[in-house]
Amino acid sequence: MRLVLCLPLALLLARTACEGLSTSAVPKVLGNLPICIVTGANSGLGRECVKTLAATKTHVILACRDVKAGAAVVEEILEVHPGASLECQITQHVNTNCCAPGRSPQKLDLADFASVRTFAEQAIGDRPVSSIVHNAGVMGAPRQLTKDGHDLTIQVNHLAPFLLTNLLLPNMKAAAKELGRSSRVVVVSSGTHRWGSFEPDHLYNDKTCGPWQMYANTKLYNILFVSELHRRQGTLGITAVAVRPGLCRTAITRHSKLLRVLYALLSPILTPVDQAGQSLAAAVLGPNVEGGTYWNKLLEVTPSPDARDTAAQRALWEASLRLCAPKDTRPPRLTPAAQLRRPATTSTDGSYL
Ligand SMILES: NC(=O)c1ccc[n+]([C@@H]2O[C@H](COP(=O)([O-])OP(=O)(O)OC[C@H]3O[C@@H](n4cnc5c(N)ncnc54)[C@H](OP(=O)(O)O)[C@@H]3O)[C@@H](O)[C@H]2O)c1
């Protein structure tokens, strides 16, 4: 029964693999292995993505808030791929010289901007980074504010990935120069972006927006972010894409008993977690990837009209820059109308942050 239900999906994946992305194309390596950071690598899709990348010539940094869980994934993968080049805080298995001696990777807690900055400065430093998979995320988490004063879902799913990307732009440009190909930013979005909306008020702790609506909004922000990043950095060595991995039975349902039951019942027709992880790896490795695009698993598709709204893309970028600035230097909020009128920030190297 399961086979019958999964067959059309398998055929679709096989067909789209031929048409679009493919994990088989390993990027050209000059000297050291290209470095890929995967956030939320200890669980679900992130773990599966690392498993695929581990079989290629890539040095993978597992960026997790629970470093013990990340280290367990490293051990698990090394049993299958003893030659893999993986890095986590507790376990480091590095078979290349691309990890500077004595470096001590840190945990990454996206709900804390200080942790994001420390990770960028201390775990990554000046190493070239050829790709980042912004996979970590929360769904339906009870409403709460982070210590940075933001809604948890917005910070984990959008603001912290935005900050980390901007902090690491110099590292990604360095990798692009070294490898002779653009670096990739892969953001894990979702089909729920179609229910999302971009209202500047939602970024400022608007209590009218519940956690499920907030999740959909942030998955829309993921695509808006990718499009604006492409506009600003596309010609400067950065290729940014958003991926919808498909519905998978993972710990993402942890905040809803009802969803857990529903996903368990539907599991025969859901996307297998390993396939979803492979489509994220394909977005890192695939040769035919245009910047600013949105992929449904392995197939490039058109996102919702709201996701293609260039004014919203720019307004989100500008608001995110302000919201990620340290609290004491954070510029005042602009009215939504003023945000839309404001000329685009010319600083694209993250120095504003
Ligand atoms: N599963 C689906 O059906 C589905 C569909 C569409 C899109 N997605 C997207 O896929 C991505 C991965 O989700 P998943 O399904 O693999 O769920 P998952 O197994 O729950 O993985 C989520 C990951 O995010 C990490 N994370 C959560 N809060 C964090 C924080 N504050 N700092 C750092 N890491 C944090 C989690 O770490 P801990 O283990 O420490 O909590 C975990 O590693 C998410 O962005 C989700 O929106 C999933």
CA 292 from centroid of its chain's CA atoms: 14
Give how far Cα 193 sits from Cα of 106, 196, 197, 275, 321, Å: 31, 5, 8, 21, 22
What is the distance in A from the centroid of ligand 1 to the CA of 278? 16
**pTM here?**
0.88
- Percent of the chain past pLDDT 70, that is, above it, reads 80
Catalytic residue annotation: 215
What is the distance in A from the centroid of ligand 1 to the CA of 295? 18
Most ligand 1 atoms within 8 A of CB, residue of 42, 43, 88 to mutate: 43
Buried b (16+ CB within 10 A) or exposed e, 97-120: ebbeeeeebbbbbbbbbebbbebb
Residues with C-beta less than 6 Å from any ligand 1 atom: 40, 42-46, 65-66, 69, 108-111, 135-139, 156, 188, 190, 245, 247-248, 250-252
With residue 70 as reference, give the H or E element that holds it.
Answer: helix 67-80
What is the distance in A from the centroid of ligand 1 to the CA of 310? 28
For residue 173, give every residue at least 6 positions away whose Cβ sits within 8 Å of its Cβ, in sequence order, or none.
183, 236, 237, 238
What residue's CA is closest to ligand 1, atom 35? 136
Query: Nearest 10 degrees: CA dihedral of 199, 203, 209, 211?
Result: 130
What residue's CA is closest to ligand 1, atom 11? 135
Residue type for position 289: V
pLDDT tens per residue, range 150-204: 999 999 999 999 999 999 999 999 999 999 999 999 999 999 999 999 998 889 8
Answer for the pair 312, 151: CB distance below 8 angstroms, yes or no. Answer: no
User: pLDDT value at position 206?
Assistant: 79
Degrees, nearest 5: CA angle 113-87-233: 55
pLDDT tens per residue, range 71-96: 999 999 999 999 999 998 665 555 44
Query: Nearest 10 degrees: CA dihedral of 272, 273, 274, 280?
Result: 120
Closest atom of ligand 1 to CA, residue 65: 33
Query: Could you tell me the domains of the chain?
Result: 2-24+34-97+104-138+146-309 (3.40.50.720)
What is the distance in A from the centroid of ligand 1 to the CA of 218? 13
